[in-house]
Structure 1
Amino acid sequence: MNQNFWSRVLPFTVFMAFVGIEELMRHLHGQQLILLDTKILYPLYALKIFSVAAILIFYRKFYSEIDIRQWLQIKTSALSILIGLLIFALWIHLDWSLLSQGESAGFDPQTISEEANRYAFIACRLAGAVVVVPIMEELFWRSFLLRYLIKSQFTTVAIGTFSWFSFLVASVLFGLEHHYIVAGIVAGALFNLLLYQTRSIAQCILAHAVANLALGLYVLQTGQWRFW
């Protein structure tokens, strides 16, 4: 596999590996096979975000499809922001419990007694959700997978090329990545549609960042930690 492949797949793989480790620790704790101090999950999250960010920085020269100058296109960026807010609204207002992966424990920073550490974690959580995750996921789902499902030599496929197969498979897999599966499928479909409309990974990153920022602020305001 070449650098174009690994630069988009490795950040996502590392991210999901950390998610798998966290879920395994929670499962073993629930089965009383290990005694887990949940506070260890906070530095684990920080390590996950810094690791993924480091990989993205290392491969940054391979991400020519990310052109943030496209954010200066006011009408297009306004559409991206609206899509992000729509996804946020769907995520919190609709009942997706029929197809969810159990009850989400989420991250509750109020369990961190030291004020400085609590605010540091909140800052890390927001930075991860608003900066690192949108870049990492849009590179994997919209830049890599949507094109790879059309042709294995994905860099020869133009950004925003549509096929029903890639659209449906990527939308469903995006949903399966998330705790609330149906909400994730809807979000994945909307991000895909935004890409087809704008042919811009940068605009998808913007929409994703807006959705995650709105959700983060909502969680901090309401204490609905299951969304985190």
Structure 2
Amino acid sequence: MMATPESPAEPLRWNQPDRWIRRQVIPFAVFMGFLLVLQLAGSFFASDLPSAPWWRKSPEQWIYPIQSVACLVLLGRWWRSYEFHWNLRWSLIGAIFGAVGIGFWLLPTVIWDHWQPQGEGWWTGLGVEDRKGGFDPGDYFAVHSPAWFLSLAFRFLRAVVVVALVEEIFWRSFLMRLVSDWNGPYWKQPFGRHSWLAFGVVTAGFVLAHAPVDYSGAIIYGSLTYLLTVWSKNLGACVIMHAVANGLMGIFILYTGKTGLW
């Protein structure tokens, strides 16, 4: 038997599924669309010339902030359409899951620090690499300058708030329901319903949305998130897990200089 609507967001899901679907999917689509814009900018607009301004040398320095603001506007406008069900107990459990999950994600590069294998081998497929040479505002702005702090602040805002909300709403709230009931009114499915097909499809999609070097960490992290989803039945806990994980990874990057993780 299906549950009955219990929160302000649920009547929209039950009675206006088209609007509910759009509000679940559009923020994620906008987020991914800006990544396409970044790729196009890198192909047709970016420049490595020493005389080029920072906004051409590193288009992500201004595309990421615009991406974050655009997604936050959509999320803020549709906030009451999401079934977060914030709960202190599950938020704390989500934070623990986030710390454990990102620990597995970072483990390969920590192993590299202690092993430092030469060349390529089976370890490369597990992400055992140095992970240097990624997003670093210090490459374009004076360290500790206002521009440097602003760039870093937007990077954390994007990772901790925007990514956590956009991805969990799409992967867990929308796609898990869709995969669990392809032929029926999937929007009426309760949040966190277990289905091995949903586990496989959603986890695979989450993994493929990341770079191959992160696949091993993403498989473990995605599996832990699925476990939290079906155990807690709480979208807010999944968002907290993602936010804590990305926040800890950002701190790790600042401490180690492994900007290739971003």
TM-score normalised by structure 1 residue count: 0.87
> Shift of the alpha carbon at 1:98?
1.2
Looking at CA atoms only, which structure, 1 or 2, has the larger radius of gyration?
2
Amino acid at match of 2:95: I
In structure 2, the CA distance between the partners of 1:60 and 1:77, relative to structure 1 (3 Å rule), is closer
- For 1:30-49, what per-residue CA distance to the aligned partner results, in whole angstroms no more than 9, with x for missing partners? xxx96363332201110011
Residue 186 of structure 2 corresponds to residue 154 of structure 1: yes
Runs of 4+ residues over 6 Å off in structure 1: none
Identity of aligned residues (%): 28
> Shift of the alpha carbon at 1:60?
1.3
- Structure 1 equivalent of residue 97 of structure 2: 83
Structure 2 CA distance for aligned equivalents of residues 58 and 8 of structure 1: 12
- For 1:189-221, what per-residue CA distance to the aligned partner results, in whole angstroms no more than 9, with x for missing partners? 111110111000000111111100100111111
In structure 2, the CA distance between the partners of 1:78 and 1:62, relative to structure 1 (3 Å rule), is closer
Structure 2 CA distance for aligned equivalents of residues 15 and 107 of structure 1: 18
> Shift of the alpha carbon at 1:183?
1.9
Task: Output aligned runs, 1:1-228, within 5 Å.
Answer: 2-26=18-42, 28=43, 35=47, 37-63=56-82, 65-68=83-86, 70=87, 72-73=88-89, 76-94=90-108, 97-98=124-125, 106-114=134-142, 115-152=145-182, 153-179=185-211, 180-228=214-262
> Shift of the alpha carbon at 1:131?
1.2
Helix, strand or coil at the partner of 2:47: coil
> Shift of the alpha carbon at 1:51?
0.7
Aligned residues: 218
In structure 2, the CA distance between the partners of 1:99 and 1:12, relative to structure 1 (3 Å rule), is farther
Q: RMSD of the alignment, in Å?
A: 2.2
Helix, strand or coil at the partner of 2:181: coil
User: Can you give the 5+ residue segments of structure 2 that lack an aligned partner in the other structure?
Assistant: 1-16, 49-55, 110-122
Structure 2 CA distance for aligned equivalents of residues 154 and 185 of structure 1: 25
User: Can you give the 5+ residue segments of structure 1 that lack an aligned partner in the other structure?
Assistant: none
- For 1:84-129, what per-residue CA distance to the aligned partner results, in whole angstroms no more than 9, with x for missing partners? 01111111112674167x9885311111325111100111111111
Structure 2 CA distance for aligned equivalents of residues 17 and 226 of structure 1: 22
Structure 1 CA distance for aligned equivalents of residues 57 and 169 of structure 2: 31
Amino acid at match of 1:120: L
